[in-house]
Amino acid sequence: MSMRNVSAMLMPLLLFVAPTLAIADDEPALDPALPYQAERTNSVTYQVDFSAVVTPPAGTKVLKVWLPIPTSDAAQEVEEGTLSSFPDEVEPQIGTEPVFGNRFAYFEFNSPQGAQMVRHQFSIKVWELRWNLDADLVKPPSDWPDSFAPYLRGESQAVAIDDRMRELLDTIAPQRKRGYREFADVMKWVDTNFTYGHDNASLQASSIHALTTRGGHCSDYHGFCAAMGRAIGYPTRMTYGIQPMPRNSPSHCKLEAFLPPYGWVSFDVSETQKLLASIRDDKKLDEQERERLTEAASQRFSRGFRDNTWFLQTRGSDYDLVPKASRRVAVVRTIYAEADGEPLPDPDPSAHGKREFSWMTMHKYTADREVPYPFQDYSTLDEDQ
């Protein structure tokens, strides 16, 4: 296996770090590149060893693999390590797509014989973010700058808005005052009406799939909420990343909405739903403790929270890769791969009964300290009391 140090190749990273990570006296600018305006605490550093093993169909002439490269921003700092491939030694190209600024290592294998592995080893320091959002302070502008167009569009292969969604929004938020509470009502409606599961998931952040099935997994939940948020009038985006813990599939997505004056605020609708269900069904809790934890979890969610047990890899949806693939991607979860111009199906190893996969991930994470998972460990909710 060849190992290449890529630190020099990745020096031009865009490092967006807000000086105080808090709402200043002057309201932040309306700019999609605005750094996270949040309180930053509880950092954890992970040593990451991430691989994907791709099995192209027999006779494939060209196998192409795009591997996301996490970048540094106000929530995480990346220390680059090495990129490599096995058994064929391929020198990756590093590119940045222009719409959302996502970076990829591109591997091209000519006449591959059997499976090929791409590997990324690096270190990443991740913070917990809290926005302490006050709903009364959220004030959207009458018109958004043109730079927000990619985050407001209603036609997409992922985050899309149709007439059924507009009609549903009229029932969830009939007053349509473009307030944050309307957006919060949408997310509450999802918590009540969606059923989480991997066996009928789109894997593409499809808002239409989520509306039709009233469920799916994280990307369906958040694709739907993103579409409804845009219908209300707020820019939204999908954020895909990795949960650095033992899991069948390490990928997980979150929702972000641009809520002035707080800028981009992160929400995890699906994991909060599972946490609330766990509290509700926990027979060890008395009624008073159950109510206290439910309130704490709901408040943490509604005020904006991003955990330090997740790091971001890609933002946005429906964009062209660099170099270009045969088509635009809806989202990129862990990798994107094509064999002779045909996309290889995205696997979901958490789906029951699945036996055949065109590619799979292997991953190991070593943290510099023990860190609880805040969507399962009740003790983390005490910080919100």
Model pLDDT for residues 6-26, shown as the tens digit of each residue: 333 333 333 333 434 444 456
Question: 188-202, 203-217, 261-275, 350-364: which range is least confident on average?
Answer: 350-364
Average pLDDT on 353-367 reads 87
- Could you give the CA distance from residue 313 to residue 239 in angstroms, rounded to a whole number? 8
Q: 184 is written with which tokens?
A: 């919060």
pLDDT given for residue 26 in this prediction: 62
Residue range 82-137, pLDDT digits in tens: 999 999 999 999 999 999 999 999 999 999 999 999 999 999 999 999 999 999 99
Nearest Cα residue to 164 out of 235, 218, 212, 217: 212
pLDDT given for residue 374 in this prediction: 97
Question: 239-248, 273-282, 349-358: which range is least confident on average?
Answer: 349-358
Residue range 30-80, pLDDT digits in tens: 999 999 999 999 999 999 999 999 999 999 999 999 999 999 999 999 998
Residue range 218-272, pLDDT digits in tens: 999 999 999 999 999 999 999 999 999 988 889 999 999 999 999 999 999 999 9
Average pLDDT on 134-142 reads 92
DSSP string, 190-237: HHHH-EE-STT--SS--HHHHHHHTEESHHHHHHHHHHHHHHHT--EE
pLDDT given for residue 138 in this prediction: 94
- Could you give the CA distance from residue 48 to residue 341 in angstroms, rounded to a whole number? 30
Domains in the chain, ordered, with CATH?
A: 4-128+319-367 (no CATH), 132-310 (3.10.620.30)
pLDDT given for residue 27 in this prediction: 66
- Could you give the CA distance from residue 76 to residue 122 in angstroms, rounded to a whole number? 13
Average pLDDT on 306-313 reads 98
Quote the mean pLDDT of the chain.
90
pLDDT given for residue 45 in this prediction: 98
Residue range 163-194, pLDDT digits in tens: 999 999 999 988 766 678 899 999 999 999 99
Q: 255 is written with which tokens?
A: 């929702």
Can you give the pTM of this predicted structure?
A: 0.91
pLDDT over threshold 60, residue 3: no
Indicate the SS3 state at residue 78: strand
Q: Are 115 and 36 in contact (CB under 8 A)?
A: no
Average pLDDT on 355-367 reads 90
pLDDT given for residue 13 in this prediction: 33
pLDDT given for residue 80 in this prediction: 87
pLDDT given for residue 279 in this prediction: 98
